Amino acid sequence: MLIKDETKIIEALTKAAPGIEKYQKIMDLVHQVDVSRDQEFQKIFNGFYRVRQRTPLFYETFFSFMERNKENPPSFEDTITYIYEQQDRFEASFSSKLVATLNPSMPIWDSVVLKNFGFKQPAYYKKNRMKEAIGIYTELINKYDTILKHDEGQMIIKLFDKV
């Protein structure tokens, strides 16, 4: 069951206001600039989503893929597979953030979200790690859809928009 107390939700949203402003800036810029070249966009995105300590080639691959797919947002599976094929890196979290930036109805994969939904990151040693991650993300989509269809989910969205 979701939080029913509107006051607690508004408190949490007010506390998150600086982050929400950064998120809104990302969402405003993503379709206005060439994200593969725009340093301001990349700086805001990397700061907000904590994309750090990657090679210049990783950033080039990531933001070029985002730019090329703006008009037809890729799936999580396509994104995580592409990054793995190009960089030999398993990037479930950053893949989800790219996907959700281009399609805001998609969920974000991070440690807090996984924990709150009772999921665990696939272990590094698993041979089917990619397949497991895609399955978890599919379950996240289903759980988000269920919440968004619920009255309390709609209330949270309305409060978010209001705040």
- Tens of pLDDT along the chain (163 residues) come to 455 678 888 888 888 888 888 999 999 999 999 999 999 999 999 999 998 888 999 999 999 999 999 999 999 999 999 999 999 999 999 999 999 999 999 999 999 999 999 999 998 888 899 999 999 999 999 999 998 898 888 888 888 887 7
Tokens of residue 44, six digits: 């805001």
Q: In whole angstroms, what is the distance from residue 25 CA to residue 45 CA?
A: 9
What is the reported pTM?
0.88
Count of C-beta atoms within a 10 Å radius of residue 93? 19
Four-point Cα dihedral 110, 144, 120, 98, nearest 10: -30
